[in-house]
Amino acid sequence: MSAGVYHIPVLLNECVESLCIRHGYDYADCTLGGGGHSEKIAELLNEGQKLHCFDRDIEALVAARARLARFGEKIIYHHKPFSDLGKELAPEALGGVLYDLGISSHQIDTNRGFSFAGNEALDMRMDSGSGESAQDYLERISEKELAKILKENSDLEMSGRLARLILSGVAAAKGEDRKITAADLNSAIEEVYASRKKDWNSLKARVFQAIRMEVNSEISEIKKSIEAAVHCLKSSGRLCIITYHSKEARTVKEVLSLFEKNCLCNNNLPVCVCGGNNRKIKKVNKKPVTPCVEELKNNSRSRSASLRVYERI
Ligand SMILES: C[S@@+](CC[C@H](N)C(=O)[O-])C[C@H]1O[C@@H](n2cnc3c(N)ncnc32)[C@H](O)[C@@H]1O
């Protein structure tokens, strides 16, 4: 990534095509970031149509506002977590909603502790004005809890031993009255996976990801928000979601599978008592859309992206 580029949007054309933008409807980009997807969407909107852009990171809003200034009042900015979607927008208010989950290149590359390659204090909050930093989080949780999140969020083996070593590094830093840094986590990871040197970078990335997900309550944010998004969509409206790892993808599929069913009765009931008419969405593609060879070549950070598209019935 060249210096000065906030974030290269992933699956850009695929997302915008999948949204099937229609005249007369408003849209939402729940993960504004550097505004790459929003810019392309805004270009397709007519006078009077609005694009609601959410980000909990003030730096994203500042950068995107500058990039998107020419669209004026067409864009409405929400410095909010996207779980507030249902509070900010009315039911059936939107023709389409986009999520490009995770963090931006800017967040990875700046000094906020998101990257295992950095040497700054571990903050990891997307909204650095609220909530608990990674440092506070690691000082508070138990070894058992940490082992669980390392396993569940990033599927890490030997999570118990890893949690023990990470927390002993955290305690040592506290004893020395200094902040924990990436180096503290990295040395625990290198010790636990000493025999897997060639995998260190990917293991480190997964450990950082697992902790970041907890610091930002990422899974509960996704659950709350996409449920709200289904209700915010008008009939035929599109819901487009890019995920970057298996826990995100599983969460999206699980939440949306409930809205794909007509009958919500318990399996052990002999007959349907719910009315059998609950289906709210259908899948547009059987398989998720992934980046083409060209995109993978130009943007290595797109390599784990998968786009799922649903349509409101
Ligand atoms: C992958 S980046 C989006 C990049 C954007 N599509 C672009 O083209 O520049 C994800 C963005 O979503 C934001 N984000 C992630 N989770 C969020 C949440 N729960 N609420 C609001 N913003 C969130 C992050 O702060 C980050 O800026």
Taking the alpha carbons at both ends of the chain, their separation in whole angstroms is 40
Percentage of the chain modeled with pLDDT above 90: 95
Which of the 8 DSSP states describes residue 46? P
7 within a domain of the structure (yes/no): no
> Region 34-41: what's the mean pLDDT?
98
- Same domain? 207 vs 224: no
Residue 254 has pLDDT above 70, yes or no: yes
120 within a domain of the structure (yes/no): no
d(CA 198, CA 178) in angstroms, rounded, equals 30
The two tokens of residue 261 are 């069913």
Percentage of the chain modeled with pLDDT above 70: 99
DSSP-based three-state secondary structure for 309:
strand
pLDDT recorded at residue 5:
87
- Residue for token digits 């998968």? 306
Q: What is the pTM of this model?
A: 0.96
32 within a domain of the structure (yes/no): yes
5 within a domain of the structure (yes/no): no
- Verify whether ligand 1 is closer than 6 Å to residue 213 (CB atom): no
Question: Atom 27 of ligand 1 has which residue's CA nearest to it?
Answer: 33
Residue 4 has pLDDT above 90, yes or no: no
121 within a domain of the structure (yes/no): no
DSSP-based three-state secondary structure for 140:
helix
- Same domain? 186 vs 143: yes
Domain termination site, one of 215, 250, 274: 215
- Verify whether ligand 1 is closer than 6 Å to residue 244 (CB atom): no
DSSP-based three-state secondary structure for 245:
coil
Residue 298 has pLDDT above 90, yes or no: yes
> Region 200-227: what's the mean pLDDT?
98
Question: Atom 2 of ligand 1 has which residue's CA nearest to it?
Answer: 104
- Same domain? 25 vs 99: yes
Ligand 1 centroid to Cα of residue 60, in Å, is 8
- Verify whether ligand 1 is closer than 6 Å to residue 288 (CB atom): no
> Region 251-277: what's the mean pLDDT?
93
3 within a domain of the structure (yes/no): no
Estimate the crossing angle of helix 159-175 against helix 182-192, to 10 degrees: 140
DSSP-based three-state secondary structure for 199:
helix
Q: CA angle, 102 as apex, 94 and 68 as ends, to 5°?
A: 55
Domain count, the chain: 2
- Same domain? 251 vs 305: yes
Judging by DSSP bridges, how do beta strands 26-29 and 233-243 pair with one another? unpaired
Domain termination site, one of 181, 215, 249: 215
Ligand 1 centroid to Cα of residue 54, in Å, is 8
What average pLDDT does the structure give for the chain? Answer: 96
- Same domain? 16 vs 101: yes
Find, among 143, 121, 122, 142, the residue nearest to 215 by Cα. Answer: 122
d(CA 220, CA 268) in angstroms, rounded, equals 29
- Same domain? 100 vs 228: yes
The two tokens of residue 239 are 């819901």
- Same domain? 131 vs 258: no
- Verify whether ligand 1 is closer than 6 Å to residue 82 (CB atom): yes
- Same domain? 211 vs 224: no
Residue 1 has pLDDT above 70, yes or no: no
For residue 136, the enclosing domain spans 127-215
pLDDT digits (tens, 9 = 90+) for 55-79: 999 999 999 999 999 999 999 999 9
Domain at 147, CATH number: 1.10.150.170
pLDDT recorded at residue 143:
98
pLDDT recorded at residue 2:
47
- Same domain? 171 vs 226: no
Lowest mean pLDDT among 41-55, 112-126, 239-253: 112-126
Distance, CA of 17 to chain centre: 21
Residue 3 has pLDDT above 80, yes or no: no
- Verify whether ligand 1 is closer than 6 Å to residue 57 (CB atom): yes
Domain at 245, CATH number: 3.40.50.150
The two tokens of residue 242 are 């890019």
> Region 126-148: what's the mean pLDDT?
96
- Verify whether ligand 1 is closer than 6 Å to residue 34 (CB atom): yes
> Region 19-37: what's the mean pLDDT?
97
Domain termination site, one of 215, 249, 284: 215
- Same domain? 141 vs 285: no
- Same domain? 99 vs 229: yes
> Region 149-155: what's the mean pLDDT?
97
The number of beta carbons lying within 10 Å of the beta carbon of residue 195 is 6
- Same domain? 98 vs 223: yes
91 within a domain of the structure (yes/no): yes
Residues with Cβ < 8 Å from 2, sequence gap 6 or more? none
117 within a domain of the structure (yes/no): no
Q: Which atom in ligand 1 lies closest to the alpha carbon of residue 55?
A: 22
Ligand 1 centroid to Cα of residue 278, in Å, is 31
Ligand 1 centroid to Cα of residue 99, in Å, is 8
